[in-house]
Chains A and B, each alone.
Chain A
Amino acid sequence: MFCRSFFGSQLSSISNLLGRQTALSSTTGVAMSAQRQLLHSSSAHLNQAPYIIPQPQYEQPMIKPEEKRPNVMKVIEREALARADVDGRSKLFIRRAAPKARLCAGDVVFVETQNSMSDPAATTSFTGVCIAIYRRGIDTSFILRNVVQKIGVEMRFMAYSPLVKRIEILQKGEGFRRAKLFYLRENPGKTFQLKALKKMAQSAATAKKH
């Protein structure tokens, strides 16, 4: 690597400064943080260059202490998740969270979405029964199903999209023994009789506005 050879002599001194971090991180981790420190320390001559080096948001890479050889992609995923998790919605998708706080298949969920980044006030809301959750880190998504004017509508939301303003569980589902409730498309029963919850959703929307 070009940078490593260039800053070769300085790297060893920096890695000594890092101390405990060096022992546990891989060489990639050390090189990444070391380079960042070097770039910022010698930024005097670099500021004349036609590019801007942004400050790192997380000074230390998010490496767990038990990871001897951390995977770069995992670290990047964790940082992306931490960056996107502005209002703590990741608690909905942790498998080991308390049953009340966790989003399960069968819960009645209210989602408020911004229509575009340019106008934060223009929002659309959708209420529905969660029939599937795909836990994929930053690409976590869930499908809500509702029957609107006698037509079934399903909407799949990306949980960590900045356009998704609010995810609220209106009612916890009971008696659903599956992770994916696709059978509800053919056999809905009384699942989608959500008129009472529509009022709850509207009150949730107005309550949040005030």
Chain B
Amino acid sequence: MIQMKSRLNVIDNSGAIVAECIKVLKNAKWAEVGDEIVVSVKKARPISDKTSASQSAAKIRKGDVRRAVIVRTKKEIRRPDGRYVRFDDNACVLLNNQQQPLGSRILGLVSAELRFKNWVKVVSLAPRVV
């Protein structure tokens, strides 16, 4: 149940640490796991000159506005067989304009709902899917 102003942990290696939802990209107030949202990065890892020269990955700074997909929510998600899954935090993965993950790795587990909502790349990068 992520809405405007909700803060999420960013669990990829794009450099962002905390992001704040500024728009839910579906015609609803709340977003669930597997939904796309627009986020503003509130906390990011400091970028030194060495790392920026070596990596060709996008540099995420504090204040960047990016799209993201929600991968974990604290609000329980209902599965079709009646199961409910709840995580201890809200987490997202940043995306680029082509709906592909910005980072090259995902650190932490993601919800299996992403598989049903066709986020194939995110699921394949994740170390653990619950």
Q: Please, which residues of chain B bring their CB within 8 A of the CB of A14?
A: none
Interface residues as binary, B72-99 with A (CB distance below 8 Å gives 1, 0 otherwise): 1000100001111111110000000000
Q: Does B127 contact A (CB under 8 A)?
A: yes
| Contact (Cβ within 8 A) B89 A151 | yes
Q: Does A25 contact B (CB under 8 A)?
A: no
| Contact (Cβ within 8 A) B85 A153 | yes
Partner of A148, one of B81, B82, B89, B109: B109
| Contact (Cβ within 8 A) B108 A151 | yes
Q: A149-B127, A153-B86, A154-B85 are in contact. List 8 more A-B contacts (CB 8 A).
A: A113-B83, A149-B128, A150-B108, A151-B88, A155-B86, A158-B82, A163-B81, A185-B88
Q: Does A161 contact B (CB under 8 A)?
A: yes
| Contact (Cβ within 8 A) B72 A155 | no
Closest chain-A Cβ to B112's Cβ sits at a distance in Å of: 8
Q: Does A152 contact B (CB under 8 A)?
A: yes
Partner of A154, one of B81, B86, B89, B127: B86
Q: What number of A residues sit within 8 Å (CB to CB) of B?
A: 17
Q: What number of B residues sit within 8 Å (CB to CB) of A?
A: 16
CA distance A113 to B89 in the complex (A): 24
Interface residues as binary, A132-166 with B (CB distance below 8 Å gives 1, 0 otherwise): 00000000010000001111111111100101000
7 tightest Cβ-Cβ pairs between the two chains A and B: A152-B88, A156-B84, A158-B82, A154-B86, A163-B81, A149-B109, A161-B82
Q: Please, which residues of chain B bring their CB within 8 A of the CB of A155?
A: 83-86, 130
| Contact (Cβ within 8 A) B85 A158 | no
Interface residues as binary, A52-66 with B (CB distance below 8 Å gives 1, 0 otherwise): 000000000000000
Closest chain-A Cβ to B128's Cβ sits at a distance in Å of: 6
Interface set, chain B 20-42, CB cutoff 8 A to A? none
16 of the cross-chain contacts (CB-CB < 8 Å) are A113-B83, A126-B130, A150-B108, A151-B109, A153-B85, A153-B86, A153-B87, A153-B88, A153-B130, A154-B84, A155-B84, A155-B85, A156-B85, A156-B86, A158-B83, A161-B81
CA distance A51 to B89 in the complex (A): 52
Q: Please, which residues of chain B bring their CB within 8 A of the CB of A149?
A: 108-109, 127-128
Closest chain-B Cβ to A128's Cβ sits at a distance in Å of: 11
Interface residues as binary, A63-95 with B (CB distance below 8 Å gives 1, 0 otherwise): 000000000000000000000000000000000
